[in-house]
Structure formats: C-alpha cells, structure tokens
Chains A and B, each alone.
Chain A
Amino acid sequence: MSKVRVLVGTRKGAFILTADGKREKWEVSGPLFAGWEMYHLKGSPADPNRIYASQTSGWFGQVIQRSNDGGKTWDAPGGGVTAVPGQMPKGESNKFVYDTSPSGKPLTTHQWYDGTQHPWEFKRVWHLEPSYTDPDMVYAGVEDAALFRSTDGAHSWQELPGLRGHGTGPKWQPGAGGMCLHTVILDKKDPKRIYIAISAAGAFRSDDGGKSWKPINQGLRSQYIPDPKAEIGHCVHHVAMNPSRPNVLFMQKHWDVMRSDDAGDNWKEISGNLPTDFGFVIDVHAHEPETIYVVPIKSDSEHYPPEGKLRVYRSRSGGNEWEALTKGLPQSNCYVNVLRDAMAVDSLDKCGIYFGTTGGQVYASADAGDSWAPIVRDLPAVLSVEVQTLP
C-alpha cells in the first residue's frame, strides 16, 4: 500500500509525519535539528530517500542537511570529521558565495528600501528544489535573491549568475520579509525550463537551464506600481504548477490570485468571489489541473484569516469561481497565518492536500479538500510543508 511522508519545517526544528495511503493514522517524528529555523525540506523525485533541508540561524548562519534514508539520519554533506587535525576541510556544504566572475555580469548592489543601492548579502536558503532526474542535483533559492545549484548532492554550490545579471537586478528591492527567492519550479517535460519568483521583484523564467532569464510579469497589477507594464517590482508570494501542464501557472500575489496560460508571458486575474485575494500559499490538485487551492488572508496588515475562520478556498474551474472548504477547520477565533511554502499535495487518488500554520497546526485532507483534520496541533510556527508519495 502507498504511503505518504510529510516534511514540515518550523521555527524550532523539523518534523516528519508519516501515514499509509488511507492517511488516517499518523506517526510524528521530531524535532530534528531542534531549536533551528528549518525553512524548507524537500525530497528528490529521483530518489525519495534523498531529502534536502535548509537549516538556518541568526547566530550560526546557513547549514544544508541531507538524508539518504528518508529522514532517519542526516549529515551536512562534506561536513564529517577529517582524519588528521590541521587538514583543510574538503566540504563546503554551507557556502553560498555570489558569483563575481566577469562572465556572470556580476552585480554588487540592489535597491534598498530608501531607494539607494545596497550590497547583496547572503542570509539564508528559503527553498530547495531537487531535480526530477538526478538525486545529486538540487537548486536553492536564497535571500538576498539569487539562485544556486549543486550538482554534487549539496557538497558545493554555484550561483546561476544570469538571473541577477540579466539586467533588472539593480532595481530589485526587498519585500517586508526580505529579498528572498522563494519559489523554484522545474519543468518535468523540459529540463531547460525553470521558473522562479522573488519578493519583491516578481517572477522570472529561463528556457536554457538557468543561463539566461526574462521577467514574466505582464498583466500583474500592484497598487504601488503606477506603470501597468512594469517589468519588475511585483510582490509575488508563490507560484504553483501542475507538472502535466507546465505552461499553466497559478500565482498568489501580495494581493490578487493570477493565472497564466502561456508560461508566464501574460497573466490575468482569477480572484473572482474570494473574500479577500491577499494570501501566501497556492497549489494545484495532482490529477485535476484546473482545481486550485488558496488560503485567503485578511490583508497585508492583518495576517490572519478573515472573520477568524480558517478556510481553504478551492476552484474547480481554474479560478474565478471559488468554494470555501471548512469541514474540520476552526471557524471561530482562528488568527493564524499560512506561509508561502506551507501547502503541498500528494499524488494519491483521492488527492491529499496539506498545509501548516503559524500556530503550529498541520492539517490534512485525504479527499481533495472536502474535509480536514489536524495531524498535529502544537508544533512551533510552520514555515514549510512538503509531501512525498511513496510506493
């Protein structure tokens, strides 16, 4: 029987939640890396036992952890004890250094909040995206915004400098959460196509494996950007795609839920009858590519559900027409947030939907959202949720 493994990153450690295909009885293990901020964990589609994790701390910086046994044991790649004292270490698993080579069109500054230019400073890894085909290849979206790639199982990392160097980089500026590259989407059908999104620069696409990039923000409207054709500057919160339809993208922007049917070249709004179109997460049903999910949040100044009711909204028509999913979710006095990487779908039939809250709950639905139940209720604030469907 199939199994699911839910990987949960929180403010104070990581947790792994497992269940069989019925998704009724759950085992909870953790905390892993107790006390550390675990921004994101994600398993390799090519080898589900290979899991990468971003472990970060204001005190000790960034660490990348890796498991080869489905999360039972972990190591920082290259971080083992060397045999001879005094020998220089070989591993550089924690080292993210911005490219400064002439070929990379190096950038030294981006726009700061006050409009002045500010140096790029590495802070943390927000998102890890393993390759569909190679368990040793993994992408890292980082703050300050840049895309890194490892081809040796996270032993070492190299920036893909064409993104920061494509031309608009000096105009990028941080959102309230920092200038983070938080979304990385690979195209299963076309290994050379990569989508990324940055707060608050916008969405970008590469069609040549990350060498060159173009902004894909036409059709986005933001109140604070007077130019309706602005190439960059939009605060994209998250982008989702069903792998079977890689040209169709769904976006939760700061405000507005958006859709593109041409690989991001043009966007149109699909907020429709949502009670508010502010939010962070968005995801797509594993088998129904026109079925999408969001969690509306009251506003950019009040980061909790409207009316204190935690509601997932589902559209079965690709947007505009939305239904509230409430069965099993708190419908009073609920003031949690659901952060941008904290929703995931499994590929079982019926499709399972999972999301985590800043109140420490992880909710699961084994029936595509019709009903919900908490897997756990009292974790630290949840930063990310990913799920692996296992044979």
Chain B
Amino acid sequence: MIRVVLPQHLRTMAKVGYELELEVAPPVTQRSVLDALEARFPVLRGTIRDHVTQQRRPFLRFFACEEDWSLESPDAPLPEAVVSGKEPFYIIGAIAGG
C-alpha cells in the first residue's frame, strides 16, 4: 500500500484524515500515485494537476524521503521506501502569501 499525505484543504474535500493508503500497481511513480488518488477521490481531479495538461499546480510540491520530487519526471520511479509503505508520499501546499 502507498501512503499519501494531503494538504489540509484537500483532506477536507476528500473527507479523509491526515494520511490515506492507496493500492497502486507498479511501477509506482508520481503519475501512477496521482492517477490512483484521483480515481478513488474524483473530487481531487484538477486540484493537484491541471485537468488538461496534467501538470502540477504551481503552488503544490511533492516530497518523498525528505527530498523534493516536484521537478522530477512524473514517470520516474519513486523511492523503494515509498513503494514498500515505509515512508509516505507528501503533497504539500507551498508556503506563500506572507
């Protein structure tokens, strides 16, 4: 199971707690995790990635194993610790606005 942590507003929209678990078929990548997340929680479609371009929204970042994965290819394999469920995949709202 892949563990995912959402920012507060998206937890409220999806009606989930701090962390959720997803079944993701390999290969486990940003794209496959987000595809599974949006399939299970359609209300999140468009809130993390643009509906059409599928690009990450500018003020959201992706972290795993204390590293910023935001600029990595969406098809790059995520770390084994995320695949095994040892570490969560974090979706974080940028600190912006003063």
Task: Give the interface of A toward B (CB within 8 A).
Answer: 35-36, 57-63, 76, 78-82, 85-95, 97
Total B residues in contact with A, Cβ cutoff 8 Å: 31
Residue-by-residue, is B33-55 near A (CB-CB < 8 Å gives 1, otherwise 0)? 00010111111011110111000
Q: Which residues of B contact A36 (CB under 8 A)?
A: 9
B42–A78 touching, CB < 8 Å = yes
Q: Which residues of A contact B8 (CB under 8 A)?
A: 35
A85–B7 touching, CB < 8 Å = no
Q: Which residues of A contact B48 (CB under 8 A)?
A: 60
- Given A59-B59, A59-B94, A85-B40, is A35 in contact with B9 using a C-beta cutoff of 8 Å? yes
| Best-buried of B8, B39, B60, B94 by chain A (most CB within 10 Å) | B39
Top 9 nearest A-B pairs (CB, nearest first) are: A79-B43, A89-B42, A60-B47, A94-B46, A59-B59, A76-B43, A95-B51, A59-B93, A91-B42
Min distance, Cβ A65 to any Cβ of chain B, angstroms: 10
Min distance, Cβ B40 to any Cβ of chain A, angstroms: 5
B13–A86 touching, CB < 8 Å = no
Q: Which residues of B contact A59 (CB under 8 A)?
A: 7, 9, 57, 59-60, 93-94
Ordered by A's residue number, 11 sampled pairs between the chains whose C-beta atoms are within 8 Å are A35-B8, A58-B96, A60-B7, A63-B46, A76-B13, A82-B39, A82-B42, A85-B23, A85-B39, A87-B39, A92-B51
Q: Of the candidates A76, A78, A86, A92, which one forms a contact with B39 in the assembled complex, judged by CB atoms under 8 Å apart? A: A86
A97–B51 touching, CB < 8 Å = yes
Residue-by-residue, is B56-75 near A (CB-CB < 8 Å gives 1, otherwise 0)? 01011000000000000000
The complex places the Cα of A81 from the Cα of B23 at a distance, in Å, of 15
- Given A58-B59, A59-B9, A59-B93, is A95 in contact with B39 using a C-beta cutoff of 8 Å? no
Min distance, Cβ B82 to any Cβ of chain A, angstroms: 17
B22 at the interface (CB under 8 A from A): yes
The complex places the Cα of A210 from the Cα of B86 at a distance, in Å, of 54
Min distance, Cβ A109 to any Cβ of chain B, angstroms: 17
A60–B57 touching, CB < 8 Å = yes
B78 at the interface (CB under 8 A from A): no
- Per DSSP, are chain A's interface residues mostly helix, strand or loop, or mixed? loop
B47–A61 touching, CB < 8 Å = yes
Q: Which residues of A contact B47 (CB under 8 A)?
A: 60-61, 63, 94
Q: Which residues of A contact B40 (CB under 8 A)?
A: 81-82, 85-86
Task: Give the interface of B toward A (CB within 8 A).
Answer: 7-10, 13-15, 22-23, 25, 36, 38-43, 45-48, 50-52, 57, 59-60, 93-94, 96-97
Min distance, Cβ A95 to any Cβ of chain B, angstroms: 5
Min distance, Cβ A62 to any Cβ of chain B, angstroms: 7
B51–A80 touching, CB < 8 Å = no
Nearest to B43 among chain A residues (CB) is A79
- Extra A-B contacts (15), CB below 8 Å, given A58-B96, A82-B40: A58-B59, A60-B9, A60-B48, A63-B46, A85-B22, A85-B36, A86-B23, A86-B25, A89-B45, A91-B43, A93-B43, A94-B43, A94-B45, A94-B47, A97-B51
Min distance, Cβ B21 to any Cβ of chain A, angstroms: 10
The complex places the Cα of A62 from the Cα of B52 at a distance, in Å, of 14
Q: Which residues of B contact A91 (CB under 8 A)?
A: 42-43, 45
The complex places the Cα of A88 from the Cα of B50 at a distance, in Å, of 16
| Best-buried of B15, B40, B43, B93 by chain A (most CB within 10 Å) | B43
The complex places the Cα of A90 from the Cα of B40 at a distance, in Å, of 11
Min distance, Cβ B63 to any Cβ of chain A, angstroms: 15
Q: Of the candidates B41, B51, B94, which one forms a contact with A94 in the assembled complex, judged by CB atoms under 8 Å apart? A: B51
A81–B46 touching, CB < 8 Å = no
Nearest to A89 among chain B residues (CB) is B42
Q: Which residues of A contact B9 (CB under 8 A)?
A: 35-36, 57, 59-60
A81–B41 touching, CB < 8 Å = yes
Q: Which residues of B contact A94 (CB under 8 A)?
A: 43, 45-47, 51
Nearest to B50 among chain A residues (CB) is A61
Nearest to A79 among chain B residues (CB) is B43
Min distance, Cβ A24 to any Cβ of chain B, angstroms: 34
